[in-house]
Chains A and B, each alone.
Chain A
Amino acid sequence: MTSKPIAFTLNGEAASFEGERDTPLLWALRDHFGLHGTKYGCGMAQCGACTVHIDGTPRRSCITPISSVSDQKVTTIEGVNGKVADTVIAEWIRHEVPQCGFCQSGQVMSAIGLLSTKPDAGDAEIDAAMRGNICRCATYVRIRQAIRDAAKALST
């Protein structure tokens, strides 16, 4: 057994983890906290399906040991909120972005991360921020359009 529970904030509430300290945040979220919106796709930060926010910044939870989020704020697709999140999700639905949908939590979290720091992001910035997120259905045309329209809505 591990020595000391790891305390952090999960979707705005105090959380504590007592398992193996090197457990990736992804598996702690899915198997221990029952939050299944964050997905496993590769386990090596290649696909971005596991993207969450740590202190507001998009991070790949599959390679983030739970011990490293001690005292930090973790936000998942289930807990993300605010004007940017609402706008991005509304555009995602309006453009009917998802096909199979499995990667889309990660896509949405990356997009919210981008527009939270760069509400007027242009195409080059969209590509740079989103190229870590693979979509095997290749919904990229609509991802791009949804982010463009969200940026437009946020900057007016």
Chain B
Amino acid sequence: MITLARPTRREMLAGSGLILALALPIGREPADAAETSADPIFMPNAFVRIAPDDSVFVVLKHVEFGQGPATGLTTLVAEELDADWGQMRTAMAPANDALYKNLIYGTQLTGGSNSIRNSWIQMRTAGAAARAMLVEAAAQRWGVPAAEIDIERGIVSHGTHRSGFGALAADAARLPLPSSPVLKTPDRFTLIGKHVPRIDSPAKSTGKAVFAMDVTRPGMVHSAILHPPVFGAILQSFDASKALAIPGVLHAAAIPQGVVVYARDTWAAMRGRKAINAQWDLSKAETRSTETLHRVFAEATRTPGAEAGRKGDVDAGLKSAAHSIEAVYHFPFLAHAPMEPLNAVIEIGDGRADVWNGTQYQVGEMKAVAETLGLPFEKVTLHQQIAGGSFGRRSQPLMDFGRELAEVAKQSPDRAPVKHLWTRENDIAGGRYRPLTAHRLRGGVDAAGEIVAWDQVIASQSVFSGTPLEAMKIHEGLDTAIVEGAVENGYRMINHRVGVHVLQSGVLPLWWRSVGNMHTSYAIETFLDRLLELGGHELLAGRLALAADDRMKGALTRVAEISNWGGSIAEGHARGIACRRTFGTTVAQVVELSRGADGQPKVHKVWCAVDCGIAVNPSIVTAQMEGGIGFGLGHALFGEISMTEGGRVEQHNFDGYRSLRIHEMPDVEVSIIESGAAPTGVGEPGVPPIAPAVANAWRKLTGQAITRLPFSRGITA
């Protein structure tokens, strides 16, 4: 059982101020603040605040960037509190590891699809504790036994007595904390697993949701930055005379990250950015092209590398195989390109700093700001915002963006508050990509068709190595993120080996929605498809026979049922299947496609079975599968960051970095597998199976195995 401390008086006061600032249904205009309820008076723990007008505020320790924790975490509290959904509100937590750390990571970081998973007991306990105290307050007021008091949809009652939460809040606040609040058994859930409307849909459908980009401060200026044109280039000198001649441009300054232009409005800042004439020292820059890097990485996979996992004797297996195949896979750099480019507002003065940002790593980013400004951590206040997408981009192991932001603040004219906004060009050409990766697979089947050898060598860059987050993923010198999903690959293997080469380039890598699973899943599921065929197996039955656990078998069986796998399909269409367990969640997908007019796959429909334990909010689970499929498909079809010889990135905006569009989105049918297991995540697991399922269908249709991504590169006429 998780015990929840009551916040200290200091934390309570800090929290109280926070609530006053943010005590709004998500994303309502700050101008509405005056309309909101009185200051919450009952704060039994760091997560629950109850106001006299019955409003219940849930303090969100995780960032909301579309994946749904604002609704999910609030649901967990409301469930145990027996609140009415209509009285629930959300507020954003400040940066504070003691109160708001991710229980899996030990720091306040959103990632790894574990917002619900790490909060499942914690947030329910927070709600149950508040409930027990409200019940005790009512028992004392009415002179009745607490055990006889009922709460239903926010109404506390006993016989003829009835009360809302607000009227009991002051009394409840004076009570001791319950030692171990009792949580509901799943059969008593009234919100979890049911349809609870997303709390942020109205604000986000009417333009009222406030993102960091929409925050303004009195006297605020706007800034734009020119980054080095090649990774690792160093600024030698710059001429800002043309920029400063633009009306509205106030100032230009060099910071370690580039040249910053400050202006009265965004447009002037952006024009000023373009008008900067900068000279760069390329002597330490990464000037290799991505074609060269692809060759270097693929070449590295010729040797076994560091051993990440081994079962049986692969060499003997390969020798004994009746038939064997080998394939080399190439995965490109990928940009995250969230719809809202990185941006934040920062205001410094009087030995303090205030930051308005929608960050994935609240504590890490504020530490970076504090360090860069030479301030103690406590003097930096984060006003957390909702974020316009992220896919991993809104946190970095070295917190590059926080450092850049603080440098920008230092040079701001007259220390004015500044809104620092990346252009889309900064975003797409700016690095921190899903690393370029190569896989070499060799496998074989014996005369009976059994897979007797699987050798997989991966060459990639490490996101974690040499950063403060090393301990999270580097174990015994091995970056487990690179081989995610490959060592225990979901299927029973007799002779199996996974090797790794960690290579370097001047391009900084970053986690990217589903991290290593994005490339390992593709290599594994497409190579398995070929080996099963080589062994004479049907592709579903073959997977079912090898699946290492019942949840994989369950997901495969369910997706086969809903798609009528094996049934007749339209002329010119073909189907493919893939199944992955990532971040604790199992997802199986079946794809139906044909050859499009452009010679590329035209995906008509995707069937998806998901086992994420208890589905806290089935509509959000379904939405994450739909969105994950679209995100994965778009990058499989078109996604690539390439560099020419000399190291210049060729893509700068959505014209070059193609994104999936509505006419390319297949129909999606999702089936959630009923489960009583504790919930696991859904933000990432919808992504990994889609690309291999498409590739498997394409191979069925055309006979071509695609080993180079994106498909627009890998499919040749």
- Pull 19 A–B residue pairs with CB atoms less than 8 Å apart, ordered by A: A20-B248, A27-B266, A31-B266, A31-B267, A37-B206, A43-B270, A77-B206, A93-B202, A93-B205, A96-B198, A98-B66, A98-B201, A99-B623, A101-B203, A101-B205, A101-B386, A131-B661, A138-B634, A141-B630
Contact partner of A44 among B202, B628, B653, CB < 8 A? B653
Counting chain B CB atoms within 10 Å of each CB, the highest count among A27, A43, A99, A130 belongs to A99
Q: How far is the CA of A89 from the CA of B626 in the complex (A)?
A: 21
Min CB gap B543→A, angstroms: 26
Report yes or no: A41 in contact with B339, Cβ–Cβ below 8 A: yes
In this complex, how many residues of chain A approach chain B with their Cβ under 8 Å: the count is 55
Report yes or no: B213 in contact with A39, Cβ–Cβ below 8 A: yes
Please name all residues of chain B whose beta carbon is closer than 8 Å to the beta carbon of A118 when the two chains form the complex: none
Kindly supply a per-residue 1/0 record for chain B positions 203-228, scoring 1 wherever the CB is within 8 Å of any chain A CB and 0 otherwise: 11111111101101000001000000
Report yes or no: A108 in contact with B205, Cβ–Cβ below 8 A: yes
Min CB gap B281→A, angstroms: 29
Contact partner of B208 among A37, A41, A141, A142, CB < 8 A? A37
Known: A34-B216, A76-B207. A96 touches B386 (CB 8 A): no
Min CB gap A79→B, angstroms: 10
Report yes or no: A134 in contact with B626, Cβ–Cβ below 8 A: no
Kindly supply a per-residue 1/0 record for chain A positions 31-56, scoring 1 wherever the CB is within 8 Å of any chain B CB and 0 otherwise: 11010111111111011010000000
Q: How far is the CA of A6 from the CA of B401 in the complex (A)?
A: 38
B338 within 8 A of A: yes
Report yes or no: A104 in contact with B204, Cβ–Cβ below 8 A: yes
A152 within 8 A of B: no
Kindly supply a per-residue 1/0 record for chain B positions 629-663, scoring 1 wherever the CB is within 8 Å of any chain A CB and 0 otherwise: 11101100000000000000000011100011111
Report yes or no: A127 in contact with B213, Cβ–Cβ below 8 A: no
Q: How far is the CA of A47 from the CA of B388 in the complex (A)?
A: 14
Complex: chain B residue closest to A92, CB-CB: B205
Please name all residues of chain A whose beta carbon is closer than 8 Å to the beta carbon of B659 when the two chains form the complex: 47, 134, 136
B67 within 8 A of A: yes
Q: How far is the CA of A38 from the CA of B207 in the complex (A)?
A: 7
Min CB gap B550→A, angstroms: 29
Complex: chain A residue closest to B207, CB-CB: A37
Report yes or no: B619 in contact with A137, Cβ–Cβ below 8 A: no
B169 within 8 A of A: no
Report yes or no: A133 in contact with B662, Cβ–Cβ below 8 A: yes
Known: A40-B213, A103-B339. A96 touches B206 (CB 8 A): no
Q: How far is the CA of A38 from the CA of B340 in the complex (A)?
A: 12
Please name all residues of chain A whose beta carbon is closer than 8 Å to the beta carbon of B423 when the two chains form the complex: 43
Report yes or no: B201 in contact with A134, Cβ–Cβ below 8 A: no
Contact partner of A47 among B27, B654, B668, CB < 8 A? B654
Please name all residues of chain A whose beta carbon is closer than 8 Å to the beta carbon of B341 when the two chains form the complex: 40-41
Contact partner of A101 among B209, B629, B668, CB < 8 A? B209
Report yes or no: B655 in contact with A93, Cβ–Cβ below 8 A: no
Please name all residues of chain A whose beta carbon is closer than 8 Å to the beta carbon of B216 when the two chains form the complex: 34
Q: How far is the CA of A27 from the CA of B213 in the complex (A)?
A: 12
List 17 additional contacts besides A36-B214, A96-B197; criterion CB under 8 Å.
A20-B248, A24-B267, A40-B341, A42-B653, A42-B654, A43-B423, A47-B339, A47-B654, A77-B207, A100-B340, A101-B204, A101-B388, A102-B388, A105-B207, A137-B631, A138-B633, A139-B626
Report yes or no: B668 in contact with A43, Cβ–Cβ below 8 A: no
A73 within 8 A of B: no
B627 within 8 A of A: yes
Report yes or no: B207 in contact with A97, Cβ–Cβ below 8 A: no
Report yes or no: B627 in contact with A27, Cβ–Cβ below 8 A: no
Report yes or no: A141 in contact with B665, Cβ–Cβ below 8 A: yes
Q: How far is the CA of A141 from the CA of B198 in the complex (A)?
A: 17
B65 within 8 A of A: yes
Complex: chain B residue closest to A97, CB-CB: B205
Min CB gap B246→A, angstroms: 9
Considering only residues 368-388 of chain B, those with a C-beta below 8 Å from chain A are 386-388
Please name all residues of chain A whose beta carbon is closer than 8 Å to the beta carbon of B208 when the two chains form the complex: 37
In this complex, how many residues of chain B approach chain A with their Cβ under 8 Å: the count is 66
Please name all residues of chain A whose beta carbon is closer than 8 Å to the beta carbon of B663 when the two chains form the complex: 127-128, 131
Report yes or no: A138 in contact with B631, Cβ–Cβ below 8 A: yes
Complex: chain B residue closest to A99, CB-CB: B66
Counting chain B CB atoms within 10 Å of each CB, the highest count among A27, A93, A100, A141 belongs to A100
Known: A31-B267, A92-B201, A127-B662. A138 touches B627 (CB 8 A): yes
Known: A96-B201, A101-B66. A23 touches B654 (CB 8 A): no
Min CB gap B663→A, angstroms: 4
Q: How far is the CA of A34 from the CA of B266 in the complex (A)?
A: 13
A84 within 8 A of B: no
Q: How far is the CA of A144 from the CA of B664 in the complex (A)?
A: 12
Q: How far is the CA of A20 from the CA of B247 in the complex (A)?
A: 8
A135 within 8 A of B: yes
Min CB gap B538→A, angstroms: 30
Q: How far is the CA of A127 from the CA of B202 in the complex (A)?
A: 24
Please name all residues of chain B whose beta carbon is closer than 8 Å to the beta carbon of A96 when the two chains form the complex: 197-198, 201, 619-620, 623
Report yes or no: B340 in contact with A39, Cβ–Cβ below 8 A: yes
Please name all residues of chain B whose beta carbon is closer than 8 Å to the beta carbon of A121 when the two chains form the complex: none
Complex: chain B residue closest to A129, CB-CB: B662
A19 within 8 A of B: yes
Contact partner of B662 among A39, A46, A77, A126, CB < 8 A? A126
Complex: chain B residue closest to A34, CB-CB: B216
Q: How far is the CA of A135 from the CA of B338 in the complex (A)?
A: 9
Contact partner of A138 among B247, B424, B619, B665, CB < 8 A? B665
Complex: chain A residue closest to B661, CB-CB: A131
B200 within 8 A of A: yes
Report yes or no: B662 in contact with A136, Cβ–Cβ below 8 A: no
Complex: chain A residue closest to B338, CB-CB: A136
Known: A93-B201, A141-B665. A99 touches B627 (CB 8 A): yes
Min CB gap B350→A, angstroms: 27
Complex: chain A residue closest to B337, CB-CB: A136
B389 within 8 A of A: yes
Q: How far is the CA of A143 from the CA of B619 in the complex (A)?
A: 15
Report yes or no: A46 in contact with B204, Cβ–Cβ below 8 A: no
B454 within 8 A of A: no
Report yes or no: A20 in contact with B267, Cβ–Cβ below 8 A: yes
Complex: chain A residue closest to B633, CB-CB: A138
Please name all residues of chain B whose beta carbon is closer than 8 Å to the beta carbon of A78 when the two chains form the complex: 207
B354 within 8 A of A: no
